[in-house]
Structure 1
């Protein structure tokens, strides 16, 4: 019996093998590579299908790989090949040249189908905004996702968000926006890079706009938060961009961004290098009203940097529910700061006592690095049921030396020499865990914790020449240590139905701050615990009109610059000094916002009230013709304001954006014997337009106005300036030429007056006009864009 079974199995195996070999002998293979007509780039993930010529039914299908190549095998002999990809005309091939049962079609050119794209824009799902309790969610529809735009261009379609031609993002007219990807920090979202250009519109599901953060976010906030939610199923292959830029004053850089998406990994990298120069003109007048003596100073200074930047990172998708992100960035700057300042000293009779010139030579090296680890877990019952852990470390160092030389021009001998040396190190660490649980369609619970460590050391030494030898000036030398730890925990609960909802939260933060001036052994320690409640509500009046109301308590913790008794002796008649005893200021913020659409315009208007205690303000004192400016806690500030911003896009070639913010304030306070009770107002506005010209040329004009306003001891004057940008697309947007002019008329000037009974001071600074020219090329699905080399921190 066993022998019979064995013989039967052997016979079946032989028959199966024979039929398999026969099928293999009758099979044919077709291969080819798909190429774009305009750019000759490969087309990944296109659909390739064999159809039966008679029945038109699908025989077999496949997709092209990330290099555009495909291979398809069949035993049929009566077929045709059909190739399709969104945005391109479908290609049908009926004739094949088989050699040894293999047909190599070589490079197959697909042509762009503009009409198909237009049809998608008209008939596909349109992008729209959905209002949540403490945020607005902009869902990306087919009108944007099918256009091949970058993440920055998608952001520019979001109401209240504006992206200028150089890639700087603002929210409700304010910069300093925090960008998150899938709810967590990412090197891809770093504003100092152009890595957002490697994320395309069809990878993005939605963008969350948060202007008044809940208790989930730390109490010392930013101008707002933009959270980019990516589609899970998007696996895009190679994306990238390379750029070359130049400008005047000197601003030259080269940058490369890469992004590789596979089934399990998302790898990203960026490297760049360049040289930039940031000049500044300044003028100051110090007047002693008791002795009627005057010190005039004016001069120029510059910050010249050679910089290098490298970023590496990866997202590892363990499975559909778990992802780990590991990334790092290293940057290195070689810095020079030359300056020349002319001084003139006049007595009470307006006679010139002395004039001299002060020259500075400063050299510095600045290493910076950042590293982060993120883990995100989603639960099976709901994709919004998540656990997120993140650890972030940052380091910044500065090794700087300066030489100052005073050379007498006329009058009293003012010759002197000074040297300074700075050894600065700053390390920041952030550990955070967030848990979100949508208990039902109506109720949501959030909880989490965050621990932040700031550790700073600044060793600053000043040396004067005495008898031909440099001797340490103990009065100006200091070694300052600053250590701050903040532990925060929070919980929020939300009730939300289709038209109405409410969300309440509570955050508790404990701060431990220690400072030490080692050369005098002056120590200061602060320990305090604060409670930060938040409350948000929204009501959907109609499809295009919603109301949101919010309350939050915020804190401003003094930083190193505020606390360090540091003397900058570039101009030793105008000195800024820190205050180690400075206390944090607290603000209760109330806001009522309406969001509505009128035709093709989207508008957002807010009434707000902010009440601040222990307000921090700069207070100037005057000793021996030297103005010393120090931050002090002087009292309270009660501010009422109205802000409105809008975006109007009447057609495909014109977009107009505007922002107006009016603020009335009433301040009450005192410092020593001075009373600082006064009220005033200030307002700002921004009007921008993007104009699409023929030949794929975009023109951008942005005008800004900042009114003057009162300060605790004087006033600051207003200014107006205009930025201009021109962008030309080449190869259907794969390459871009950018021309930008900041402050076209050199009118962005900072002018401040301080007027007291015993002294008056005047200061003026001007940056001037900046012109940049760049060319960038995007490959894969990457979008060409400008690489700035990173913004200074």
Structure 2
């Protein structure tokens, strides 16, 4: 793109000057904000790159190519200025094209040349050779100017939070987008959102947050790999934070939604990172992310592989209070996972208003698990009558496939008017085999062997169509549909060894088929003024659920339709204080693990199974939130009330020292709570974020002939502090406390634990070193106690401390990945 050329013939000097002046005025209108103010005069000239070509005057052609020094990548829109040697004023010039090249003419003779671009040191050429009326500057390499970059960041547009009707919108300014940081770093700048050093995202202290890309589930937001971190800040337009979703979103309950909206077009070039992690216990992995952007395409890819180990320590007590017999067990296990994954995709910008996206990912996991558990049985006099060792060896292969197609159309009439279609599919298989050896140390029982086999296949499909239509400036209508298909087949068998022959246990062997289809239709209407706004909506969902146990021919069909209304309002007192209130009806459908009737026999005295007759939970959710921005602090206070019917709780039964638990629908629950969270950053080297949630609940219900009416409370709190230390060191310390609470049968013990992270940037942020320690004091122990008239149960599980070290290298236009993104089970 050599510039704008204007030819003139037989013109006077005055006419030439007039045409030049008009051309400069036109150039000023199309000049971009990327150019520093000191170069503005030059820019007004370079966009009329060719001087007037007069037939009677000789012309000098100036050519060359501009690259940046770090990776020898071309620089687009670099300024090539021709300046008068005496007055230092610009005479003419050009800007570089996509590949960094330039070519333009000048009729001047006494001049020098400057080559510049924002954030890079300017190069000046005064001694050049003119051959055949041509100046060939060849390849010009520009080096970074850190002082200039710092000045741009200070003066750049700042990221800002807007209060909307049912959400908060964080607009990403150039103070973040120009840094090359990842999307995870941007999320960390949003009030009530926290991303720890391992890349786990929480909203108001809860990690059950749903991540959307452009308003829909995406391969980029999946839990596998580190794809979300490959999105850099300069690709993001804004981020929406939704704590009480409206009827537009799936009625399935979540703790909140974070919607990352990408820009239509981004800076062209390559960015990416390579990350290596090692850890104790084993957490060794390598990942490579690459993003290539051109005028029409945005290509993204990721490759990763590694091995992870998850140790476990377990204890349990099963006590028969009628016969005074007890079975104690204690043991440990280790789960090893080898994995490899690849992701590839592309955005195709058909034109400025139409974008097509196609992407897919494939992962393959190999699992190995062993466990050793010691069992002791005692009688009423506390004498050990039986003692044995149960060993387990399990192997499994898990291939996973995810793919998506998306089409988004924007309209010229209004920037918020859009049509979005997306199709997301996934499949997962598990082929698993387990062997159990029971060796008796004390007692008259004989040794015995068991084995299990699992052939599991899952397929999910989600189709979405959304249309947004603003009108009369302050009104918006949204409408759309969603169709979700879930299909599962689980072939499960338990066999016992008798006389050297394996015999299936008919009570524990079957094929379970699960098929669910959910069709959703919604519409919302909103008015949003400068101070007050209102949004109402309704969503209709029809669910078709079928389960079948093939061997025993036990089937269950459940077809139901529900209306899910929502209403939200907001009142903005000023730019720093806003009130939001909302109501929505939610549903929580039983998951596959809750429906699957097969038993887990790892501990064959503490059996867990599903219930195919389970019904969904329905919740009416009310919330009032105040949002404060006080100087460098942001605070949120919420009062909420949730009324839930058909509450799902696990109920334990007891027979022959064997406890069996399965989920049941048990009555109603009313929860009233208060939540506060805040973020305070008094300086650029220190920030603190805290969350506090307390609620009181009232349970009412019967199961069979037992009443489960009771009241209780629970609370949780977390605190995270971050320090930026000299020499580009960052340190992060977080602590969590969760109080004990009661369910219909069980008391869950309280928990206090802490995590620590340390990060060091080197080579101007291109390389980042990470050290993270999860559960620093190994204090995170999950304990449950169940006390009933005829039995007592105790279960304890401890994972222990995880230490991980990572090194990441960023190349191209982005920095190194700030987070290792380790997945934890």
Q: What corresponds to 1:286 in structure 2? A: 318
Which deviates more, 189-198 or 633-642? Answer: 189-198
Q: What corresponds to 2:144 in structure 1? A: 111
1:208-228 deviation digits (Å, cap 9, x = unpaired): 111111100010032222222
Evaluate the alpha carbon distance shift between residue 333 and residue 191 of structure 1 in structure 2; reply closer, same or farther with a 3 A threshold. closer
Evaluate the alpha carbon distance shift between residue 390 and residue 85 of structure 1 in structure 2; reply closer, same or farther with a 3 A threshold. same
Q: Decide which of 95, 102, 125 is 1:62's aligned counterpart.
A: 95
Instruction: Tell me how far 1:702 sits from its aligned partner.
Output: 0.6
SS in 2 for 1:338: strand
Distance 1:790 1:310 in 2: 16
Q: Decide which of 277, 287, 298 is 1:266's aligned counterpart.
A: 298
Instruction: Tell me how far 1:165 sits from its aligned partner.
Output: 1.1
Distance 1:761 1:58 in 2: 88
Contact 2:370 2:392 in 1 (8 A): yes
How many residue pairs are counted as aligned between the two chains? 770
Instruction: Tell me how far 1:46 sits from its aligned partner.
Output: 5.0
Which deviates more, 494-503 or 186-195? Answer: 186-195
The alignment yields a C-alpha RMSD, in angstroms, of 2.1
Distance 1:106 1:121 in 2: 29
Pair 1:744 & 2:770 matched: no
Q: What corresponds to 1:674 in structure 2? A: 706
Q: What corresponds to 1:126 in structure 2? A: 158
Instruction: Tell me how far 1:51 sits from its aligned partner.
Output: 1.9
Which deviates more, 684-693 or 19-28? Answer: 19-28
Q: What aligned pairs does 1:50-89 form with structure 2 within 5 A after superposition?
A: 50-53=81-84, 56-63=89-96, 65=98, 69-76=100-107, 77-89=109-121
SS in 2 for 1:154: helix
Contact 2:279 2:802 in 1 (8 A): yes
1:385-436 deviation digits (Å, cap 9, x = unpaired): 1111111111010001111100112223341101111000000111110111
Q: What aligned pairs does 1:518-557 form with structure 2 within 5 A after superposition?
A: 518-557=550-589
Instruction: Tell me how far 1:23 sits from its aligned partner.
Output: 10
SS in 2 for 1:350: coil
Pair 1:366 & 2:398 matched: yes
Instruction: Tell me how far 1:153 sits from its aligned partner.
Output: 1.3
Q: What corresponds to 1:635 in structure 2? A: 667
Evaluate the alpha carbon distance shift between residue 99 and residue 771 of structure 1 in structure 2; reply closer, same or farther with a 3 A threshold. farther
Q: Decide which of 516, 534, 537 is 1:484's aligned counterpart.
A: 516
Q: What corresponds to 2:67 in structure 1? A: 34
SS in 2 for 1:562: helix
Distance 1:102 1:791 in 2: 57
Distance 2:112 2:182 in 1: 36
Instruction: Tell me how far 1:670 sits from its aligned partner.
Output: 1.4
Could you state the TM-score of these two structures normalised by the residue count of structure 2?
0.90
Evaluate the alpha carbon distance shift between residue 102 and residue 536 of structure 1 in structure 2; reply closer, same or farther with a 3 A threshold. same
Distance 1:773 1:58 in 2: 55
Distance 2:113 2:191 in 1: 44
Evaluate the alpha carbon distance shift between residue 92 and residue 410 of structure 1 in structure 2; reply closer, same or farther with a 3 A threshold. same
Distance 1:655 1:752 in 2: 36
Pair 1:137 & 2:169 matched: yes
Pair 1:151 & 2:169 matched: no
Pair 1:415 & 2:447 matched: yes
SS in 1 for 2:416: strand
Q: What corresponds to 2:546 in structure 1? A: 514
Distance 1:106 1:664 in 2: 70
Contact 1:28 1:102 in 2 (8 A): yes
Contact 2:332 2:371 in 1 (8 A): yes
Q: What corresponds to 1:428 in structure 2? A: 460
Evaluate the alpha carbon distance shift between residue 24 and residue 791 of structure 1 in structure 2; reply closer, same or farther with a 3 A threshold. farther
1:263-295 deviation digits (Å, cap 9, x = unpaired): 111111101111111111100000000000000
Structure 2 spans left out of the alignment, 5+ residues: 1-51
Distance 1:791 1:426 in 2: 21
Pair 1:172 & 2:204 matched: yes
1:634-685 deviation digits (Å, cap 9, x = unpaired): 1000000011111000001011010001011111111112111111111101
Q: What corresponds to 1:392 in structure 2? A: 424
Distance 2:697 2:823 in 1: 32
Instruction: Tell me how far 1:790 sits from its aligned partner.
Output: 6.6
Evaluate the alpha carbon distance shift between residue 786 and residue 358 of structure 1 in structure 2; reply closer, same or farther with a 3 A threshold. farther
Q: What corresponds to 1:210 in structure 2? A: 242
Structure 1 spans left out of the alignment, 5+ residues: 1-18
Could you state the TM-score of these two structures normalised by the residue count of structure 1?
0.94
1:140-182 deviation digits (Å, cap 9, x = unpaired): 2233233332221111111111111112111111113222333
Pair 1:724 & 2:750 matched: no
Distance 2:175 2:78 in 1: 22
